[in-house]
Amino acid sequence: MQERIFLSHINPVKDKIYRLALRLLTSRDAAEDATQEVILKLWSRKDKFKYYANIEAFAMTITKNYCLDQLKLKQNNNLRIIHQSYESKQTPLQTEIEVNDEMQWLGRIVDRLPEQQKMIFQLRDIEQYDYDEIAEIMNMNQTAIRVALSRARKAIREKLVKKHNYGIK
């Protein structure tokens, strides 16, 4: 496979690889390193692309496995989650501070979810994958994915409601 053809397959999913790595590793530097490593792994397997029905799902599976390996090795124990919101130069400073605070809260809530729920939440609600793709990436059946996603959303919702209702009687 030529480099040009390889890049035509990988460029559309490069950002998704990065975002999943960022969600799992919680550090921009680690996510960038992971993205490069995943692309190198994909390059080494480029001749097998014709055997995969969905190269994007294959790339996301490699990303998930690589990131989990990194976490298991505890090489990334100094990482913290910072979920960045897209900044608009026209928003008032107070609004920007509130949004950043809320995103940090949400990031901490998501970070405390069980690993499986965290990944499914990222793939479905952030990356907008459909259930078939998530089932392939996570090697789970769709019912289990729906249950895990429902539990993740419920936990997030409960913690946000508790935060916003704190002190209100």
Using one digit for the tens of pLDDT, what is the confidence trace for 25-73? 878 888 899 999 999 998 888 888 778 888 888 889 999 888 888 887 7
Please provide the average confidence, as pLDDT, over all residues in the chain: 81
Burial of 95 (0-12, 13-18, 19+ CB in 10 A): exposed
Residues 6+ apart with CB under 8 A from 79: 25, 26, 27, 30
Residue span(s) of the chain under CATH 1.10.1740 come to 1-78
Contacts 24+ apart (CB under 8 A), 73-79: 76/25, 76/26, 76/27, 76/30, 79/25, 79/26, 79/27, 79/30
* pLDDT attached to residue 4: 83
What sign has the CA pseudo-torsion 77, 71, 105, 90? positive
User: Could you tell me if 132 and 146 are in contact, meaning their C-beta atoms sit under 8 angstroms apart?
Assistant: no
Q: What is the CATH number of domain 1-78?
A: 1.10.1740
The CATH class for the domain spanning 89-169 reads mainly alpha
Tell me the whole-structure pTM to 2 decimals.
Answer: 0.54
For 94-140, the pLDDT digits (tens) are 777 877 788 888 888 888 999 999 999 989 988 889 999 999 999 99
The CATH 1.10.10.10 domain(s) of the chain lie at 89-169
